[in-house]
Structure 1
């Protein structure tokens, strides 16, 4: 159970951070500027780092690359799903004209609607989760390049 609680707990915390950041930007009207979404990566990066670090502390000597990878990936995926649901509710229920305002600079003959925007938000979150997990697991995995590591290699 503890293996699933870390991705859920940290996924919810990351999503809460992303939602709070989005709502703060919306207070100033800056949520329509895509450049500010770069900070979403910082929020995701910090939360996923903490999740994998916490998982490694709990597992200690039993920490395996595959399990740490899954903890990081599930954390990012949970955060992405929650934020995408929030974004969909915000863009359809809370502020229905948001998508039109967001896409006004790219408006063309293409029929870009809420479905495509939600798809892009989800893909960006999933891609960020995969990249960050791969990156962080390089930090947290045990090295086999030492004498002690060679004795424990499979």
Structure 2
């Protein structure tokens, strides 16, 4: 793996963890709608990872390498954040999943595991969608040489 993926993946995870802890300090961590701002953190990390990958590879940059940079970066960030949330939910605040599930899925309580699954799917889905969107900006131009008439 490239250092760009690791650097920005850890940056995404750190941003998500800091945001979660800040929201917790304000007592708003049980509001699932505030998770929308997680997308801004992930988007920023992916954008700058792909941008740096393009700057590093210069003329050798292609769609595949940019998309790979985004996917790997998002995957690393998601895995680290899910591990943090697992430690938080199982060891630091075991009542947190119950509070979230009571306000969110009253009829479907499956424990903290379902929340970790949702966070994982959220992270992977946003990574793929944002990477594909950003690659429209960063992809090399596909110019077709013109024939001389």
TM-score (norm 2): 0.93
Do residues 119 (structure 1) and 117 (structure 2) align? Answer: yes
- Residue 41 of structure 1: aligned partner: 39
2:66 alignment counterpart: 68
Distance 1:142 1:37, change over 3 A: same
| Distance in 2 between residues matched to 1:106 and 1:36, nearest whole Å | 13
Mapped to 2, the partners of 1:107 and 1:55 lie a distance apart of 40
Q: Closer, same or farther in 2 for the Cα pair 1:5/1:37, shift >3 Å?
A: same
- Cα separation, 2, equivalents of 1:57 and 1:47: 15
Alignment partner of 1:95 is 2:93:
yes
CA-CA distance at 1:108 after TM superposition: 3.6
The residue that corresponds to 1:136 in the other structure is: 134
C-alpha offsets along residues 93-113 of structure 1, whole Å, 9 cap, x if unaligned?
011100011111245443421
Which of these residues, 112, 123, 144, is aligned with residue 150 of structure 1? 144
Distance in 1 (alpha carbons) for counterparts of 2:11 and 2:98? 29
Aligned length: 145
Q: C-alpha displacement at 1:64, in angstroms? A: 1.0
| 1:142 Cα deviation from its structure 2 partner | 1.4
Say what the alpha-carbon RMSD is for the aligned residues.
Answer: 1.2
Runs of 4+ with deviation above 4 angstroms: none
